[in-house]
């Protein structure tokens, strides 16, 4: 018997994560972007990452169709980007500063790092799909500190302990 969704949410809120915006583009050139904290590295050789995307998200179909996406890791002064891309808005990029990656995917300006990925695998998992992406390019920016998400709040990174 699985735990309830309320209990699950509270338990998972104890895991601190960074915050990313996953961006992609469909065959008609429409841009998509969504806030994703379910991101992690998978393999060093080849360089693989994964993202977990809710099947009902508008970006979900576009990700499956385009086969390419970018992971934009947010800096500590970009919490407004996280809130913006978590909303189901018509054109999320109208008020956002971005530039185009080499495969035409929008890359968020001043993110800590932009990772350009090609989908190499996907796995159906409950109400989400796990997309595995091979990282083809990375673009490091000048920002230094990450945005942190913990217990449903945005935070800045604390002191270094060891």
Catalog residues that contact ligand FMN under the rule CB under 6 A.
19, 32, 34-38, 52-54, 57-59, 82, 85-88, 149
Least separation in angstroms between residue 38's CB and ligand FMN is 3
Extended strands (E) in the chain: 17-18, 20-25, 31-36, 39-43, 48-54, 68-73, 98-100, 106-108, 113-125, 128-140, 147-150, 153-156
Q: Which is nearer to ligand FMN, 8 or 45 (CB)?
A: 8
Q: Which is nearer to ligand FMN, 57 or 96 (CB)?
A: 57
Least separation in angstroms between residue 6's CB and ligand FMN is 17
Q: Which is nearer to ligand FMN, 87 or 95 (CB)?
A: 87
Q: Which is nearer to ligand FMN, 82 or 114 (CB)?
A: 82
The answer to whether the beta carbons of residues 98 and 51 sit under 8 Å apart is: no
Torsion angles phi and psi, residue 139, rounded to 5:
-130, 110
Q: Which of 34, 41, 21 is nearest to 107 (CA)?
A: 21
3-state secondary structure of 22: strand
Least separation in angstroms between residue 128's CB and ligand FMN is 6
């Amino acid at each position: 018997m699985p735990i309830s969704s309320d209990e699950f949410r509270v338990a998972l809120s104890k895991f601190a994560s960074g915050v990313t915006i996953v961006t992609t583009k469909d065959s008609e050139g429409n841009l998509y972007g969504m806030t994703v904290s379910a991101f992690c590295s998978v393999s060093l050789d080849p360089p693989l990452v994964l993202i977990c995307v809710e099947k009902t998200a508008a970006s979900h179909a576009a990700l499956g169709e385009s086969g390419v996406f970018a992971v934009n890791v947010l800096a500590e002064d970009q919490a407004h980007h996280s809130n913006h891309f978590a909303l189901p808005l018509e054109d999320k990029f109208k008020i956002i500063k971005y530039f185009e990656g080499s495969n035409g995917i929008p890359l968020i300006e001043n993110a800590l790092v932009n990772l350009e990925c090609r989908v190499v695998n996907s796995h159906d998992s409950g109400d989400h799909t796990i997309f595995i992406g091979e990282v083809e390019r990375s673009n490091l920016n000048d920002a230094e500190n990450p945005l942190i998400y913990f217990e449903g709040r945005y935070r800045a990174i604390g002191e270094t302990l060891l």
